[in-house]
């Protein structure tokens, strides 16, 4: 009888302990923030000039950013004129290389904070890291194009790199990355 009673008490205690652990974890779990790269298009109605702001919200220091984007299908009447880093969070980076491929309508933005052992890194925070300047041509068969991430050969994908050379794959938000084309 004592053995059955002891087993019953142990089972009830185990169930109580399991529920209390689960409940305490559920109550204390904060919303997890993550790194996000987003595109915000600034386009005036009827204008053939468009600026796309590449924004980054990062939760830790970064030493490099790789940002491959596509802005058409290779035939879309849009031209990426230039990429600027003036007045952005990456303005003082040592290496800024926007590789524009007009044939495929892709751009690979490679950014490295320092080329020496100095300790300049992109601090955690949020804001613009690049500005893309487009010119629209008349003759579009589609109404719009949305800037999106892309694979840029040979193997460049959207990623961030921390000072310890660990890759971070951020979220991507292009909900405000639509460019209205000229017909």
Residue boundaries of the structural domains of the chain: 1-30, 36-180
Check: CB of residue 100 under 8 Å from CB of residue 113: no
Please, what is the end-to-end C-alpha distance for the chain in angstroms?
88
Could you list the mean pLDDT of each consecutive 10-residue stretch along the chain, which spans 183 residues? 54 43 40 83 91 97 96 92 97 94 96 80 96 91 88 88 94 94 80
SS3 50: strand
State the Cα–Cα distance between residues 132 and 99, nearest whole angstrom.
12
- 166 alpha carbon, distance to own chain's centre: 16
Tell me which residue has tokens 């529920």.
19
At residue 152, the pLDDT reads: 83
**Number of CB atoms found within 10 A of residue 49's CB:** 12
At residue 24, the pLDDT reads: 38
Q: What is the DSSP letter of 154?
A: T
The arrangement of secondary structure in 36-180, i.e. its CATH architecture, is Sandwich (2.60)
């Amino acid at each position: 009888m004592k053995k059955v009673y002891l087993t019953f008490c142990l089972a009830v205690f185990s169930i109580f302990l399991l529920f209390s652990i689960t409940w305490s974890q559920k109550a204390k779990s904060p919303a997890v923030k993550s790194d996000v790269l987003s595109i915000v298009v600034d386009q005036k109605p009827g204008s053939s000039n468009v600026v796309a702001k590449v924004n980054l919200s990062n939760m830790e220091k970064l030493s490099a950013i790789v940002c491959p984007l596509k802005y058409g299908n290779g035939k879309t009447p849009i031209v990426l004129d230039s990429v600027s880093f003036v007045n952005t969070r990456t303005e003082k980076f040592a290496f800024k290389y926007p590789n524009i491929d007009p044939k495929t309508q892709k751009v690979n933005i490679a950014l490295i904070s320092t080329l020496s052992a100095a300790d300049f890194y992109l601090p955690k925070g949020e804001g613009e890291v690049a500005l893309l300047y487009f010119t629209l041509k008349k003759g579009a068969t589609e109404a719009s194009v949305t800037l999106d991430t892309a694979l840029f050969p040979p193997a460049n994908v959207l990623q961030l790199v921390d000072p310890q050379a660990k890759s971070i794959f951020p979220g991507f938000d292009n909900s405000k990355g639509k460019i209205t084309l000229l017909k």
